[in-house]
Amino acid sequence: MSRSPIFFFLLAASLAWFSMKHSVNRPPTPDAGEDQEKEPTFREIINIKLIESGEKERLMELLRERLIECGWKDEMKAHCRTLIKKKGRNNVTLDELVHFITPKGRASIPDSIKAELLQRIRSFLVSAAQ
Amino acid sequence: MFGQSQTSLLLFGLCLKLSSHFFEDLLDSIIVDVASECHRIARLGLDHNLDEEEEELRLSAEARARVADPSYSGETNGKYVVDIFGQTHPSVANEIFECMNCGRSVMAGKFAPHLEKCMGKGRKARLKMTRSSTAAQSRHSRGSPVPAYSPYSNSTSTNRLANGSVGAGEPYSNGTSEEP
Amino acid sequence: MRARTSLYSNPKPCKHLSDYKLRYGTTPFENLHEFIKAGLNGRARIEGIEVPRCSSCNGYRGRLYMCLICSAVSCLNHLGLHTQSGDRHDIAVDVERAELYCCSCGDQVYDSEFDGIVVSERVRDLPEDKNGGFEGVEERTSKRRKLKLDPGIEDDPKKARTMMSLGDHKEKSCYPSGLRGLNNLGFTCFMNSVLQALLRAPPLSNFLIDRHNHDKYRNKSGKNPCLLCEIGTVFHAMHSTDHTPYSPARMLYSWWRHTPSLASFGEKDAHEFFISVLNGIHDFSDKGQERNDSEDKGNCQCIARKAFSGLLRSDVMCITCGFTSTTDEPCFDISLDMPTSNLSFKGVTNKSVEPNERTCSSTLFGCLEMYTRPERMGSDQNFHCQNCRGTSGSLKQMSIKRLPLVLCLHIKRFSQCLSRRIILKNGQYLQFPFSLDMTAYLSSSTVRNRFGNRIFAFKCLNSDSSVAYEIFAVVCHSGILQTGHYVTYLRVKDQWYKCDDPWINEVDEETVRASQTYMLFYVQRRLVINFQRVSTRIASAVKQSSKG
């Protein structure tokens, strides 16, 4: 079994990864995490690969389509509307909307869709490592 | 330091962790997309009729609840006692008039089955027609009891019909009117 | 409704944005143009930055904004920092969404010139209308229509409603003209229900009042009877002073002769009858010498077309290159699929998603939305893009290009299932509004939506005054498929009447709202008001003609 240099890099990176104490649970809204301030991390390298290969855009497209099909998007829009109604359409800010729908948006993802996407990402990681 | 199996386990764990991180990034990005879309719609006022829609939804929900109540009576005159003109009607309309095809007197409530025979529609009538010389009109009819959509000259409606609406009573009419 | 007039105007920019534009004009937007990539689904993004990261923290996650003055990229956390350090660097652009963001207000802001630049590439590729110019026709017609209207009235549903009830209460003992039961001739409730609704359609009834209009057709009937004459006869019988139920026997006879394929005793589909009668009228005037105004069928000016015909637009977009081909087709009605409850839960296996009201009972808005939603056509559909010759599939989207005066919406409750022999009825409840705004389903709206609701085309999209509809008749199907029954609810002067063959009875609004609707008849709100004036004319005209 031949190993590519990336494999060893992955191995080293994963050791470094586990030695650092990262919290798996992220803060409630997407913002810059502490790991972003470090040197280019392993995760960033993969992210660059995802972007450069165009896979990220394809994954986004797939997820978007799935979330429309299953009614998640409609549900989120309706959820947005409740806040817009409450605060008035000219007073609500984008950031408020994002904060408001993020918990529900994350919680109401159908398992099957999540599984499908995770599978796709994993196979990308595997192909990137070989 | 690590055996082969431990290495792959470690990598597998990393893979799981990474993939779920990336998934969350994707999802968060889409959440912002939705919020941004809604924000735009709100600021541009493209949702103006939502209030009206919601009001209609509310009225309908209330109406359904009221109608579901057993004590509810929607018709002010009570059901089928008298109509708004104070008239009452038999279950089968008994007005008598002359058939425009054969000139015979027919009762209104029995007119359609009469006309079918009289105009020589349906299989039953066609069988009859071979024996009697009832209707000259039968030559005009295409003699097919099975509904066909072809006579529509308008292509739009043909498509629409083929797509969606299927004759409500077709199985029924095929079934009963063709009995010998 | 003051809100409506300001609807499609640009939102007022914040002072930072106007400041920015004062200082820099629109040149920065134009410079950005080549980096903007607008996708097929209405989204746009800024490209050209290889892997965007925050200039302060080097982070790449979450939202990233690019300053429109110095092109520095910042994440949301460091955006404030950037604004403070620079000289009024307030306005930034969201890299992922190509939306403007004012750092000082902390909110997304909108600008028509920026939006115009975002979509300019794709708008250029839009298929041109034959009539010249994108959406130009709609604009013209709406202007022409507006001239005739008293401004303000038709925009207010409440006013329209009070207009509908004008003069009602004082003459309670005398019921509005035109209400008369129709005898069932043996499974002919499908015909009776449609006739009751048809004869209440203002443009058609206006036409029928005039005996002259009606007589024009009489002589030309030839060997086949004229359906319009028969409808006219029923119309005049309905408006006579006789309240005993009328037997539309001649109508049935004429229709059978006209449409031999449907001529048999038994239950029929009301919608099928409706379409075949309108086609009958249309065909007749087409064959007859009534072709002065127009040669081709598409512009036929028969009353069926005038009153009921709208124009549907279907766009097919290649998902590879975005090339869109557009076809228009006239329609007498819009047939809407009913979302079945199973379908709306498709793919949602997560228990945390609770079935809420919206997914449980379907609504007319939902049906219309589904109808106008872009639909992915797979690569198996044999699609060949005429532009790039790609075969990887297409998006198809329906929309309404021109709304009819009388809008008939048909709910597809009957569907063929499994094998061809079995027809199933969907008895699910469908919520429908009494006042309907069709704006969202117009071609202009769907196209705008496809461009991410950018403000580019707003000059042509000024609120078309004829998008507001009021309901006037509901045809309901009760019972199961084999032995169903049709009844019609009519709204006359804001009182609802149930027309069940010979029976005419008053009913509550609630009964109508809770009914199992099959066909819905809406009329443009402005016509409702005119109709009030006309209905008095009908009464007198009919009285005179019955004397004469």
Angle at C132 (CA atoms; ends C129, C136), nearest 5 degrees: 85
Gyration radius of chain C over CA positions: 28
The pLDDT of residue B26 is 93
Q: Is C89 a catalytic residue?
A: no
Rounded CA-CA distance C36/C399 in Å is 28
The pLDDT of residue C350 is 37
Q: Which among B17, B18, B39 has the least Cβ separation from residue A97?
A: B39
Least confident of A14-28, B8-22, C506-520: A14-28
Decide if C54 and A109 are in contact by the 8 Å CB cutoff.
Answer: no
Domain containing residue A105: 1-14+51-130
Contact C406, B149 (CB under 8 A): no
The pLDDT of residue C174 is 65
B23 touches chain A (CB under 8 A): yes
Helices (H), C349-483: 357-360, 364-371, 443-450
Please indicate, yes or no, if residue A118 is contained in any of the structural domains: yes
Rounded CA-CA distance C439/C463 in Å is 8
How high does pLDDT run on average in chain A? 77
Q: Say what the alpha-carbon torsion angle C31, C33, C34, C35 is, to the nearest 10 degrees.
A: 100
How high does pLDDT run on average in chain C? 76
Q: Which among B20, B26, B38 has the least Cβ separation from residue A63?
A: B26
C348 touches chain A (CB under 8 A): yes
CA of B132: how far to CAs of B125, B128, C257, in Å? 10, 6, 21
Check pLDDT > 80 for residue C480: no
The pLDDT of residue B130 is 45
Q: Catalytic residue among C14, C67, C75, C189, which?
A: C189
The pLDDT of residue C532 is 58
Please indicate, yes or no, if residue A94 is contained in any of the structural domains: yes
Please indicate, yes or no, if residue A96 is contained in any of the structural domains: yes
Residues of A in contact with B39 (CB under 8 A): 80, 92-94, 97
The pLDDT of residue C132 is 35
- Predicted confidence band at C267 (pLDDT cuts at 50, 70, 90)? confident
Please indicate, yes or no, if residue A59 is contained in any of the structural domains: yes
Q: Is C189 a catalytic residue?
A: yes
The pLDDT of residue A7 is 56
Check pLDDT > 90 for residue A99: yes
Q: What are phi and psi of B65, to 5 degrees?
A: -65, -40
Single-letter code of the amino acid located at B137: Q
- Predicted confidence band at C162 (pLDDT cuts at 50, 70, 90)? very low
Check pLDDT > 60 for residue A22: no
Check pLDDT > 80 for residue C251: yes
Residues of B in contact with C6 (CB under 8 A): 45
Please indicate, yes or no, if residue A31 is contained in any of the structural domains: no
Please indicate, yes or no, if residue A40 is contained in any of the structural domains: no
Report the CATH number at residue A65: 1.10.246.140
Q: What is the pLDDT of residues A54-86, one digit of tens each?
A: 898 899 999 998 998 888 998 999 999 999 989
Decide if B11 and A67 are in contact by the 8 Å CB cutoff.
Answer: no
Among C264, C282, C364, C486, the residue to mutate for chain B (most B Cβ within 10 A): C264
Please indicate, yes or no, if residue A37 is contained in any of the structural domains: no
Give C85 or A14, the one with higher predicted confidence.
C85
Beta strands in chain B (DSSP E): 96-98, 105-107
Q: What is the pLDDT of residues C414-448, one digit of tens each?
A: 876 656 666 778 888 899 999 998 988 988 888 88
The pLDDT of residue C487 is 93
ipTM of the complex: 0.72
Decide if B147 and C245 are in contact by the 8 Å CB cutoff.
Answer: no
The domain total for chain A is 1
Neighbours of C196 (CB within 10 A): 29
Cα atoms found within 13 Å of the Cα of residue B91, Cβ hemisphere only: 0
Tokens 């590439």 locate to: C121
Q: What is the pLDDT of residues B108-167, one digit of tens each?
A: 999 999 998 888 765 454 444 444 433 333 333 333 333 333 333 333 333 333 333 333
Please indicate, yes or no, if residue A34 is contained in any of the structural domains: no
